[in-house]
Structure 1
């Protein structure tokens, strides 16, 4: 007799029950996602293209923008797809991947913010 208690997918809690609100959530999430992509893309492009911005603080800002792109790209596309296609399912592997990448990227972001604050502390309190 095979084990029938294995988990293959999860059911997500829907943001709204009516179709109009689901579409509204999709458009709002799409706007937030595109704004984040545009803002972080502009930061990345400006720091990468302008040679005057190749200083340690702008290097940290470039990495912070890239980590923010990774964080927002981990969860929002699945939420938008669920809102658009009126589904509530996520596979077990998909959920595990989202949790892993989100925790990894948030951990890297917190580490980078700690490094940025220490860099500012050294620059202000212990200048060369």
Structure 2
């Protein structure tokens, strides 16, 4: 057997091995969507176990609040009583900072609810009413 035939046989074996490896490798890899580990939610399936925290702000005038993870606070404003679902995983720390916008005389009351149970509460009747809740679970 000549040297050219030996080289052709070895190259043929390498090419067949490479093709088999490619087919097996490509068929066992996750799709691009699976590999991104993306979770999407359109908000239609809110459940207390997935989103356990809510902030309830009660005041007869207008108010402004920042709430959520202390490193990433979401801003919200409103009038009257409003309950806001904090769309998050069960954080270890939750912060709420609310303030009266109209400097009214009424009481600004802030409650942090976990699975619809009050776990922290604070209030102020001061005209500049600033209420802070820092909750560590």
Q: TM-score w.r.t. structure 2 length?
A: 0.20
Larger Rg: 2
* Greater percentage in helix: 1
Higher relative contact order (CA 8 A, sep 6+): 1
Q: TM-score w.r.t. structure 1 length?
A: 0.21
